[in-house]
Each structure stands twice: as C-alpha cells, then as structure tokens.
Structure 1
Amino acid sequence: MLQTHRPRRLRRNQTVRNLVKETTLTVNDLIYPMFVMEDANNESHKVEVPSMPGCYRFTPDLLLKEITEVYALGINAIALFPAILEHKKDDTGSESYNPNGLIQQTVREIKKEIPDIIVITDVALDPFTSHGHDGLLGEDGYILNDETVEVLVKMALSQAEAGADMVAPSDMMDGRIGAIRDALDENGFDRVSIMAYSAKYASAYYGPFRDALGSAPKSGDKKTYQMDPANSREALKEIALDIDEGADIVMVKPALAYLDIIYKVKEATDLPVAAYNVSGEYAMIKAAEEKGWVDGKKIMLETLTAMKRAGADVILTYFAKEVAQILGKDYS
C-alpha cells in the first residue's frame, strides 16, 4: 500500500500544534530596555518617546514604579540607558563614571527595592559625550580606541560598584572586553557578568533610540567602529575575540535583518546568544499597527519567535512588557 506523508495531521487543532511546537517564546527569554532621565527641576514625570509609541523616559522615582510593575509580570532582567542633562556632557564623557551619576544612583535604588531583578548597564560613551560618539575623538576626528577603553573601564567599575549584575559594552572598541574583565576581577567584581555587544552593526535601525537619549553623533557617523551591514564572517571574528577576552553572553544587534547572523553565531558558540530587537524594528511594527495595516500583537510575537528560532537565547526588546502581559508571568 502506498504510504502518504500527511504533515497536516500534526496541525489539525491548537492542542496538537502546541504538542509539537519547536520554538516557544517565554517571559524568561526577555530583557526589557528602559530609559531613565534627569530633570532639570527635579520634578517627577515620564515622557513618551515620539518615535517609539508606548516607550517612555522616566525620572528615577517613576522608573522604579515601572520596574516594580514589570517585575510582577515576570520580567526578570532590565537594561538601563541614561538621558542626562546637556550641561553634564563633555568631550571625554567624564560623567559616565561619576559614582553619583544618574545610572549609578538609579542602580542603587533598584537593587535596594527589588534586589532579585537583574540590572544590566550600558557601557558606552555616546549618552555622555558632547559630540555623540561612543569614544574619544582624536584631532582628526577619528575615534581613539585605547584611550576610550580606559574610560570604559572606569565606567564599568563604577556601575559594578553601584550594584549592576551585568555590564554590557556596546561601544565596539577593540580589546574592551578583556580590559573590563581584568578590571572587574582585580577589584573584587568577579561575579559581575559581561554581555558583549559583539556583532553590532552600523545600522539605520537605531534612529528612534538616539531620539530617546539625544545621543546621535553631531558629526560623521559610527562606521569606523560599528560593523558593515554587508559582512557576516566579520561577525564570527568579533564573537571569537570577545569570547577569548571573557564575555559571558554575546550579542547580535540589530536582530530582524540579521537573523542569518544570529544563526551563524549560535552555531559557532556554546555561550548564550542575545539578540537586540532594536528601536527601529519596534517603531515599524507600531507605526503599521497605528495605520491599521497589521495586527501588531501577532506581528510582535511572530517576530520575536523568529529571533528565538534563529538561535537567540535572550532577546532585548521594547515589546517585553506587552509580551509578558500576553503570556503571563507563570508561562515557562
């Protein structure tokens, strides 16, 4: 008798489809990027980012309330990004390692109130520099690598001292993972993890994020330190270097247009792989949803599932709160 393969038998209803599902998205996969801001008048408020509907910059007190809410939804990790006052920015980003700076004070308050949540801090100078670049500028306008790494080490140490569970260098300077790992270990912070932005591309998808922090470069671009979107083998080289230098988690950023990179990285390492579902990817879905062109929630879940299917173990996404509300905090 002729045997006929009928894959549809395993699609016939939702119960069967759930039984054979290959990839499952859970709240445990998510890291929630959040924006904390300073207010010149020390007033308490939040401001929606115009290009990122549903995302806000919070003053520290309101940020703490928001974190309490999302933690109750089952989100166990947040990534903090600062919007500091303009007069605190300078050419060297010195405010980045101020022990009483915005991020450092915010981390202390979070860990005091919600000690079990994982706090991840960004290590890069662009929110703190007057020129908007991730590093120190040389006389010819080229980003100085080793001099920048020295400042990044100070920044990472100050964040660890404040109580950060994980530091996340996003600058793409050569050798910074090893320098930060050595400094953390030498200063008694051997338990602080490093999530390396290992394959971070010079992408056009970052625009809304730079609006949120006011961190767009004042001149030039970031192509001398962020990667060319045309390259994939280079990503594997960057991943290997960061692993050798002591990274605990490696990241691909952006995610949606780089699913092939996520897949290749996952095949190349046993370390956890993070994917950053960046602001432009978020904004496109939100804009299409507002126009009534797509079902935003379904597109959101499909997109994040695709990132996990490609190999991402964790996903940084501005959709985290919405996803947690849909899936429920006990979904695992």
Structure 2
Amino acid sequence: MSFEKVGVVGLGTMGAGIAEVLARGGIATVGIEIDDEALARGRANVASSTGRAVKRGKLTEEGQAEILGRILFSTDFADLADCGLVIEAVPERLDLKGRVFAELDKVCGPDAVLATNTSSLSVTKIAATTTRPDAIVGVHFFNPAPVMRLVEVIFTERSRKDFVDAVTELVRSLGKTPVTIGDRAGFVANRLLFGYLGPAAHLLEQGRTAADIDASMTAIGLPMGPLTLMDLIGLDTCLEVLEAVHADSGDPRHAPAGLLRDLVAEGALGRKSGRGFYTYEGIGSGAVVDPRAGTASTEISDALYLPYLNDAREMVAAGYCTGADADAAMTLGCGFPEGPMAALARL
C-alpha cells in the first residue's frame, strides 16, 4: 500500500508543517480548514516556512513554487474523497476530533487510512468516535514538522496492521525516523519527557529556585533546564499532557504541580504570554527579565534525571519500545544530546 494523495485537516502551525513535509516529499496534498480566513492563515504558514528556507539557501524559489503547487487548499471536506490517507491535526479536544472523524467517515473511501496527530489523547478513544476504528492510526509529528525527524506511529488493538505498516513506510520515505508503538498516554517521547518535567515544577513549589533547578540540569549536559523548556513548550500544553499521562499512569510524579495549575489559570503560559516560570521581556521573547545565575546541585539533577532513566529502562523491559526507539525519541524528538539507554550504558 502506498499513498499518492494525502489530506491534512487543520492548517495551524503543526498541520501546515505536516502538509509542507508531504508536499516536499512529492506527494499531492489536500489541506483543509474550517473557513476562508483560517485557510488563508494556513496557506500563509506554508508560504512563510518555505520562504525562510529560500532565504537560507535551503530551497530555490522554483522549489518553493513546486511545494505550494502540490497543495490544494480547501474548506470542502469532499476534496478528501480520493485521499488514501488523511491526517487530522486540529486542537487537542476529543469532541472536536470526533467531529472531524465523523466528516471523514462520510467522504473518505472504504480503504482510506484515517490518522490523528494527537500528542496526548488516547488514539483508542479517538478511534471510538468513528464507524471504522480499524482504520485509525496515530501519526505524531513533532514541531516544527519540517525540521524534526521523529514521528511516532501509534496503533490501537483494532488498527489494521497493513495500515500501520503503510504509514510507517510513508514516514520513512519522507526522510523521518518512525517509532512504531502501541497506544498509551504520552507514547514514548512525552511519557519520558514529562516524567522529568513534571517533578521539576514540584521542586520549584517545594522551595527550590527556578535558576538552581535549571542550572542543575544544564550542568549535566542538557541543552536547557526543565522550567525554561516548559515555558518554551507552553504551560497550558504541559498541563494538558501531564493530566493525560497521570490519568493513565497514576504515578504521583506525573501529577501536575499546583503551581503549574495556578500559572495556567492566571494566563501565565510561558514565552507565548510573556510570563510563566520566568518573566520575559515581551510576548514570544526568550529574554528573561532580571536573569539570575543558578547554583547547580547534584541533589536536584539526581532527583530529576535518575527517575527519567529508570522510566526508560522499565519501558524497554516491558517491551513497549526498543532501546533504540527510546533513544531516538529523546534525541530526535526532544533534543536531548544523549538517549536514556545510551546514558544508562555509559553510567
């Protein structure tokens, strides 16, 4: 099974990035949005991203025109009728995704693969909103999709194996690294990442300073501290993922800190709002107001990093993923300089 035409529903930053990846791969792509205004934003997202590649000399103007020419931008779900694969990339709300899949049930052919790009919701629950749960596959790209190499391909107990295999091969053909796994909250990358990030917020709540927490982790070689990373991701997104993972695992380390909940309730969402764990010079800025150097502590780094390594060891021992999968997830998906299994082999 191969895919000559692929649809993407939802052309926000992630969906537009996925559409660009497909079009770059030479695939005829249909991008769907809810109305003309949203569609114009989606088209602008793709044009802006490819335009930056032209300015950096990574893409010619002719190449950009070819990519944009492969994407049919539309507000009509009927344009997805002849797509062999449709990827849903709308916001993380089960009710909204359910409405999208109800529409796909109506217009897509009986052998079409219907995929969700969810990062935190149960693929099984999403599949339950359709009349064909065996056609549902998770295909979790990481942001920005044109740049990030990792894609998690998720199957449920009812997913057709030939559909899962076809999506995995498509991902590989696009120059990405697929990690194919079963359905569990957080999958591999977010399950491991947020088992590390969530406890960092608890340490802050318990009286450690943000500067000390972050300094402790950069001191052992991580590119940025956990609180800085959470501000970059968005605290509302962090809360959403932690709630989903905690509901699945029951592990107290995954329970969102009260401080995190309070900040989100106040609208302090990190860089995108100008304030989160840190206060920034402006909305979207990465420059911290009154930056302070922290003091690294092995007590802090051990408290955060060692449980993360143990999570990875247990995940691999349970057969959920391979050691190579765990390492790929954290290096390619989360930007860690070293995967957890490689770190364990070195320690």
TM-score, normalized by length of structure 1? 0.32
The structure with the largest helix share of the pair is: 2
TM-score, normalized by length of structure 2? 0.31
Q: Tell me which of the two structures has the higher relative contact order, counting C-alpha pairs closer than 8 angstroms and 6 or more residues apart.
A: 1
The structure with the largest strand share of the pair is: 1
